[in-house]
Amino acid sequence: MALDSWRPFHHGDYRGAVKNYLTGRMARKFPLFSLYVFPYKAGDNYHLHDPMRLLFFGTITLLVFYTILCVSRMFPDHMLLCSIISIALLIFILWMSLFRRHVSSEKPYNPVLVWSSSIGLGLWSSFILFCIIIDSVNFLLLIAQILGVDRLAELDREYWMPETIRIAFIAALITSFIGWLQAVKGPIVRKISVPLASLPKELAGVTIAQISDLHIGAIIQKNYIEKVVSKVMALTPDIIAITGDMADGKPEALRVYTRPLAALTAPLGVYYITGNHEYYSGALDWIAEAQRLGFTPLLNENRILDYRQKKIMVAGVTDLMAHRFIASHASDPHKAALSDKKPDIRILLAHQPESYGAAQEAGFDLQLSGHTHAGQYFPFSLLVNLVKRYARGLHRYKTLWIYVNPGTGFWGAANRFGIPAEITLLTLTADK
């Protein structure tokens, strides 16, 4: 064992050495896990000082215990058995769904296990959220009983609470099954008109096909991608924009699945930007793969397109967290807007919609984003609006139009209940 694995190993700091060794082993064995639980790599050491990672890990731990509590309430006479089964299933679901979805040629996967864990993740997460809602209502009912509300005084809570948990489980089963059907069905095509005040009449009618968050990997494979490519090409767009999170895994391991993307062509080009997931498996490799597929990567840069005697700027920025992995990839809309030519319209591709402030300041007219998945499935589709200002659809911020694609694929749970995957066809129109 290399001595470097035991840093810091001085002055008898054995506890620090063990922590550093175990952290490094976990991070090397489960790369995606290290990004959630542990921060990014700094030199040769891994550190446990990022509060967001610790918050994530702590939240998952609390939810596991809460799941055991909910299942035990469904079957109060078999609490120990319920606890053992719940822990085993959750370990399987979380390990396979989050940590084994990252495909590489050195790490094969079992499709049956990955699919079952992905469906299970959707069922579990929906069940937990429904339980939280029900328990919140039960808590309010308890307060009302304590306050002596006459209509609630006779409510048999010992009977009612297990029944409500069973209702939550049935609701989760139904929504997860429907959501799975929607997920495997593939993306719909949504057509959006974007009214731009500064749009010259020569550019009215220019179309952009946007795909985002494909997450090609252990579940989304060749058949799904062929379906996406066929639908995009049937739209005959002028421009194709791929706004990040194209895959989960190494390019060489996924090449058989990404190959259909090479058929994407458009008169004014196919443009690609990185999302956060590219950095989990090697952004430089995915940028090279995008070029091999015939795409034009935009890393805080732009291309000026001549069309009908007018100029269109198509710019792209790296992901907002890219600097954590590659310092030179810090997202910079202002740099992306630099040009010695004066375009008639400026379009920015930015994976995360939070780039909107800097994009507007840099003078862009339209920003195309993804990342949020719009919550991906109900009821998370409601919660995402609490944490994201722009989670889905067309919005306006001052002089900037923002469109957030809810994802052309899916990630984690194979569930699209209420939020179908989407290919967006945006048509530029003059604002009247």
pLDDT, tens digit (0-9, with 9 covering 90-100), for 78-134: 777 767 777 777 676 666 555 555 554 445 566 777 788 888 888 888 998 888 888
- Say if residue 5's pLDDT is above 50: no
pLDDT of 27 strictly over 50: no
Question: What's the CA gap between 411 and 215, in Å, rounded?
Answer: 6
Short-list 366, 425, 28, 355, CA closest to 189? 425
Predicted confidence (pLDDT) at residue 69 exceeds the cutoff of 90: no
Q: Of 190, 261, 140, 240, whose CA–CA distance to 423 is shortest?
A: 190
**What number is the average pLDDT over the span 278-288?**
93
Average pLDDT, the chain: 82
When pLDDT is cut at 50, 70 and 90, the band that residue 212 belongs to is very high
Q: Which of left, alpha, beta for 245 (phi over 0: left; psi -120 to 50: alpha)? A: left
Give, rounded to a whole angstrom, the gap between the first and last alpha carbons of the chain: 70
Q: How far apart are CA 371 and CA 349, in angstroms?
A: 12
Q: How far is CA 290 from the centre of its chain?
A: 19
CA-to-CA distance for 140 and 188, rounded, in angstroms?
Answer: 40
CA angle at 5 for the pair 4 and 10, rounded to the nearest 5°: 65
As a whole number of angstroms, the distance between CA 298 and CA 293 comes to 14
pLDDT per residue as tens digits for the range 33-46: 444 444 333 333 33
Domains in the chain, CATH or no CATH each: 50-185 (no CATH), 187-430 (3.60.21.10)
Q: What is the pLDDT of residue 109?
A: 63
| pLDDT tens, position by position, 163-197 | 788 888 899 999 999 999 999 999 999 999 999 98
pLDDT at 122: 87
